[in-house]
Structure 1
Amino acid sequence: MLGHLDVMHITAGLFVGVMVGLTGVGGGSLMTPLLVLMFGVNAKTAVGTDLLFAAVTKTVGSTVHGWRDTVDWRIFRRLAAGSIPAALLSVAALQGLGEIGAKAEHVIIVFLGCMLILTAFAALFQKRLVRLARRGGSRHDPRALLPTVLLGAFIGVAVSISSVGAGAIGVTALLMLYPNLPVSRIVGTDIVHAVPLALVAGSGHWLYGDVDPVLLISLLIGSIPGVIVGSLLSSRAPDHLLRPALAAVLLFSGLKLLTS
């Protein structure tokens, strides 16, 4: 028999899975604050568990995008060149802080709060920002090389510390850097890039004991069917209502973390 808490975790996984399927906004933006604020999970454990949770769920999405050929492997390599080294360094630095007291917890909470607020604005104003980028004309690939590697490094740091950054923020930035690429190709590239990044960062947290395997399994039991249901309903979902509502939840969660 599943305990009461396990049922609650499965329900949380289901909710996050449906929202990810409907909106495409990364699970970390919803799952990590949910675990910290509602379930009282230690911040480092919440981030570590959520990273492996994201790696498993996004592997399914990556397979679909790879099969549909909606991945730009050149952009993927540029992002990974910045994100993977940054992720490794960030996890090591976080553990170093953890050894000298509760500083790591404080860093995660503050960073997570700021990233949630940034994600809220990215989700809300994504279409306007992309329109502005397209009005400015196309960007040649050589000029986008360094910004893409730097974007990857930023995402690597952000995801390793807070598990947030590879969803709405990453997609919005890529759409501005590559305004002439189809949105489906940008989203596909971002999802595929998130898998090795989450695996590397999540494995680092696992090595340091920051992952709860029972919690991880409970979340996955709910999220996998949730992602499928959300994806099937996404074409019928009222995006003009969902995005502002999601942005409001993220903004509230971010402010709550920063003021708690």
Structure 2
Amino acid sequence: MNDLLTLTALAIIAAGFIVGIVVGLTGMGGGALMTPALIFLGVGGGEAATVVTADLTAAAVYKTGGAAMHAKHGSPNLKLAAWLIAGSVPMAFLGPYLVKVFTDSPEDLDHVLKMAIGFALLFAAATYALRLYIGLRQLNRGGDAGDPNPPIRPIPTLLVGMLGGLLVGVTSVGSGSVIMIALLMLYPGLSAVKLVGTDLVQAVPLVLAAAIANIAIHGLDWSIAIPLILGSVPGTLIGSRIAPLVPQSYIRRGIVVVLTMSGVALLDKAGWAPLGKDETHPELVGLVGLAMIILVPLIWGLIRKTEGMPMFGAPTVAQIEKPHARQK
């Protein structure tokens, strides 16, 4: 009990609560936000393996609750989820063992994991940008609804599951971001609620497999996992309740900036060669964030112009995502 009253434990509970609210608001994966947050807080000595294991354990708890709610209301495509699970679970279990085989020491393991998480965060940010572009094109072309109950494409779906499983098993990032955009591209007719429901259902065994493998290799630090669960579960529930009242477009764009800055910061921290191995560059991370705040709206405006739309104004990000929410 005393372990839950330390400043570190309270910081973990607060971080879990904040990230849980964001997950509940947007449906975006918590691992992409929680893992770098805990590493930068210095939790578990800042060791990536310890953080990844605790984050996966907490995710297994709150994703199970979310999946149960979606399954109860009949929103997931269970056949599609089954094919994803067939690809993701084996790779999620195998991924941590592959990393262990190809690293020679705890220091090497920490370096490899931070590099992998850094690139995974940048990949997650890019997939959300791609999701918006796909939505923009669909809206501009009349909002092609596609088939709300499409035939399953086994091979591409298995490959998506395998990629997502490997990412989650190694980094804890990908179950709610990379897999989601892949499903949107493969099955554009699925409504937003079916996309989220299917992703949550497949994410439960995926995260469980990844957590079990990481616990078997690295052990589990309960002083991190328990506060994380205590913070993230109520945060997720609150976020889900207030989601209809909050303008998600601003939150989602803010998340993309945070993911990009976190990815660059982790690569810098890991000593990625182009950034220099002997020192960190916090000013570079700040410049990346500033550049995104200034340049991304301009780049997005130019993309809109190529689609025959005005650079700014309607359709907004929220309006781009609404067609998916209206589909049945």
Which interval holds the TM-score relative to the shorter structure?
over 0.9
1:61 aligns with one of 36, 58, 66: 66
Which whole-Å CA distance do the structure 1 matches of 2:217 and 2:266 have between them? 24
Per-residue displacement from partner, 1:56-108 (whole Å, max 9, x unpaired)?
Answer: 01011011001010111111111111111212221211222345453322221
TM-score (norm 1): 0.93
Work out the CA distance in 1 between the residues paired with 2:166 and 2:62.
21
Give 1:145-224 correspondences, 5 Å limit. Answer: 145-224=154-233
1:112-127 to structure 2, matched below 5 A, reads: 112-127=117-132
Q: Give deviations 1:119-164, integer Å, cap 9, x for gaps.
A: 112234423224547868848635x221110000000100011100
User: Which protein is bigger by CA-based radius of gyration?
Assistant: 2
Q: Return the alpha-carbon distance in structure 2 between the equivalents of residues 102 and 29 of structure 1.
A: 22
How far, CA to CA, are the matches of 1:101 and 1:226 in structure 2?
33
Letter in 1 for 2:160: L
Partners of 2:218 and 2:200 in 1: CA distance: 26
- Tell me how far apart the structure 1 counterparts of residues 103 and 155 of structure 2 sit (CA, whole Å): 32
Q: Structure 1 118/133 Cα, relative in aligned 2: closer, same or farther at 3 Å?
A: farther
Output the CA distance in 2 between the equivalents of 1:37 and 1:170.
26
User: Displacement of 1:211 after TM fit?
Assistant: 2.1
Identity of aligned residues (%): 35
- The corresponding residue for 1:141 is 151
1:205 CA displacement: 1.0
Q: Over residues 155-177 of structure 1, what are the superposed CA-to-partner deviations in whole Å (9 max), with x where a residue is unaligned? A: 01000111001112211110111
Select the residue among 54, 65, 70 that pairs with 2:75: 70
Greater RCO (CA < 8 Å, at least 6 residues apart): 1
In the alignment, structure 1 segments of 5+ residues that lack a partner are none
* Distance in 2 (alpha carbons) for counterparts of 1:65 and 1:207: 30
Aligned 8 A contact 1:133 1:176 in 2: no
- When the two structures are superposed, what TM-score results if normalisation uses the length of structure 2? 0.74
The residue that corresponds to 1:12 in the other structure is 15
Aligned match of 2:107: 102
1:75 and 1:237 map into 2 onto residues whose CA distance is 30
Distance 1:149 1:4, change over 3 A: same
CA RMSD of aligned residues (A): 1.9
Using the TM superposition, name which of 156-165 and 131-140 deviates more.
131-140
Pairs aligned (count): 259
In structure 2, relative to structure 1, the CA distance for the partners of 1:101 and 1:4 (3 Å cut) is: closer
Offset at residue 43 of structure 1 (A): 0.4
Q: Are the aligned partners of 2:21 and 2:237 in contact in 1 as well (CA < 8 Å)?
A: yes
